[in-house]
Chain A
Amino acid sequence: KQEVTQIPAALSVPEGENLVLNCSFTDSAIYNLQWFRQDPGKGLTSLLLIQSSQREQTSGRLNASLDKSSGRSTLYIAASQPGDSATYLCAVRRNYGQNFVFGPGTRLSVLP
């Protein structure tokens, strides 16, 4: 059974810092991995999708990497801003057409 963990559970940083969020999964046989952002009381917003054959994906100040063999993914946020404050969740899918298994999330606070 796939299990996904995220470290740290919560993170508070001053504005402008670069930061890394970690996601680990127990079964390396994944189809893809998706990072989401969730604002309080809201749904999930997709940030980046990495296929199993890819090593990283970039979107603006965000960069996500994937190391399938070690069961890890990292989300790098450059030059953090207060607007980045949210909970960040990673989710993995085992096979095409199957559902996503989520981690518990990292709650990020960027202080002005």
Chain B
Amino acid sequence: EAGVAQSPRYKIIEKRQSVAFWCNPISGHATLYWYQQILGQGPKLLIQFQNNGVVDDSQLPKDRFSAERLKGVDSTLKIQPAKLEDSAVYLCASSLEWGQKNTEAFFGQGTRLTVV
């Protein structure tokens, strides 16, 4: 079974530029998460989708961050314009969400963003 795919793996941009990340979850997984992980900290949720609807985006800085999940499969996360403090690893995760035994979350390799 293929895992969660993310691209690119690394990205370096200047502040005020824009950047986009892509995620392809495990086939059939209804729930998709985007997390931000700053160095030395645990991941923090940015947005959670259930199929193509948003479940929780309360911690998403909506003035600069946006995300979509078209057709309930792939997702993109965009930052525009980027700030220095956005330097972090952006992790995508998915879970099946069908019954109690299918709530395990699986993570992609992440995209390491450096804003200079």
Contact = CB atoms under 8 A, between A and B. Distances in A.
Given A99-B56, A100-B45, A42 B105 contact: no
Find the residue from A49, A51, A89, A100 having the highest chain B CB count within 10 A: A100
Interface residues of B, number: 28
Interface residues of A, number: 26
Contacts of B45: 99-101
B39 to A, nearest CB: 11
A14 B43 CA distance: 29
A36 B107 contact: yes
B92 to A, nearest CB: 9
A109 interface: no
B105 A89 contact: no
Given A102-B44, A105-B41, 17 more contacts: A4-B42, A31-B103, A32-B103, A42-B109, A42-B110, A43-B108, A44-B93, A44-B107, A45-B107, A46-B105, A46-B106, A49-B104, A89-B43, A96-B97, A96-B100, A97-B50, A99-B33
